[in-house]
Amino acid sequence: MSTWGGPVDVTLTGGRVVTPEGVLDRGWVAVRDGRITAVGRDSPPEGPTTDVGGGWVVPGFVDIHCHGGGGEAFTSADPERVRKAAAAHLQHGTTTMLASLVSRPVPELADQVSALAELVEDGVVAGIHLEGPFLSAARCGAHDPAILRPPERSAVDALLKAGRGTVRMVTVAPELEHSVDAIARLVDNGVLAAIGHTDATAAQIRPAVDAGASVATHLFNGMRPLHHREPGPIGALLDDDRVTVELICDLVHLHPTTVRLAARHAGAERTVLVTDAIAAAGAGDGVYDVGGLEVRVVDGVPTLAGGAALAGSTLTMDAAFRNAVVACGLDVVEAVRATATRPARLLGLADRTGELRAGLAADLVVLDADLRPQEVMSKGSWVKD
């Protein structure tokens, strides 16, 4: 999977173009030198054109929580295998992504971070997300509970140092010792602090958000359940306007009604769809290693071997987009905001990507009437298999 022939100068015409202001029927998007130069309706500018035949034209997807794909994981020390994982998702329209790592001992995790940092600098991925090891053993999911630990300053600093500025998000269980201090330190270093894999009460969530935590890692999953007398992390995070909530929209982790309720309450400014994909995404059923644990994928659903615990997903962002619209009842504009605009803003990339507007990178996806990708463009170049 690669870009094909370098940036093209072309105007895409005859589409339903989703802009920040809404949908332009018979819309067009002009691309020059890898960037969007203009967006409009009806009369396109002079020059080469490509008619998209009434398809949807949406911004390239931005995935802030992904562990791998195409049979490869971001834990690999081989850069070509990491590139293959990123390319598997690029084919499905993800033009920007964070590489997520699962819990490992801090020295091993630091080595993985250091290796990935070079690929961030090369533009293969937009940054690194550490989902662990600062998680609750009571809600560990597919993380090895023997590896989990509190976020002492020395551990946090070692991982940030290994990343050389490329660590963009770290998930923390706020009930752990040192967690509030760690969250404040992460935020002070320009890192998004996320709350996840937590058994915290609602009362324990508030100090973490006050310290700067601003993301809920896959809301509902890996968390103390919502209860009408103890809303726990789900209720506290969903109801706090300072927090953006991740939703895994594969229709396995969350029921469509749950997605709809959460998205409606959080609204367009706080809802982000993620894949939480493992190496099996785009690679099929089989047995995979996730953080040293054996994971079996059957009918596209990964679970820990010998148990029923979900272990990530095989989701791609185009499917998350499609599920949100078709199964969960979001409209296309809402789905665009949740899969591109909001995550780009969260990462501080709103001046580069996440919308179809002049001046931004020409990252876009052409979808057919069934919302399936027909073409993908990354920085003005068509993506080919």
**Catalytic residue numbers, as ranges:** 276
Q: Measuring CA to CA, which residue among 266, 282, 347, 361 is closest to residue 315?
A: 282
Q: Which two tokens stand for residue 94?
A: 């993800």
| Cβ–Cβ < 8 Å for 247, 263 | yes
Beta strand pairing status for 56-59 and 364-367?
A: antiparallel
| Cβ–Cβ < 8 Å for 115, 341 | no
User: CB 56: neighbour CB atoms within 10 A?
Assistant: 25
Q: What are phi and psi of 319, to 5 degrees?
A: -70, -40
The 8-class DSSP code of residue 138 comes to G
The 8-class DSSP code of residue 384 comes to E
Q: Measuring CA to CA, which residue among 95, 104, 46, 144 is closest to residue 343?
A: 95
Q: Which two tokens stand for residue 229?
A: 């007398």
| Cβ–Cβ < 8 Å for 315, 277 | yes
Can you say how many angstroms the Cα of residue 292 is from the centroid of all Cα atoms in its chain?
Answer: 22
Helix (H) or strand (E) holding 341: none
Helix (H) or strand (E) holding 219: none
Local structure of 352: helix, strand or coil = coil
Q: Which two tokens stand for residue 215?
A: 């993301």
Q: Which residue, chain included where needed, has tokens 């202001």?
A: 21
* Measured distance CA(193)–CA(311) in Å, rounded: 22
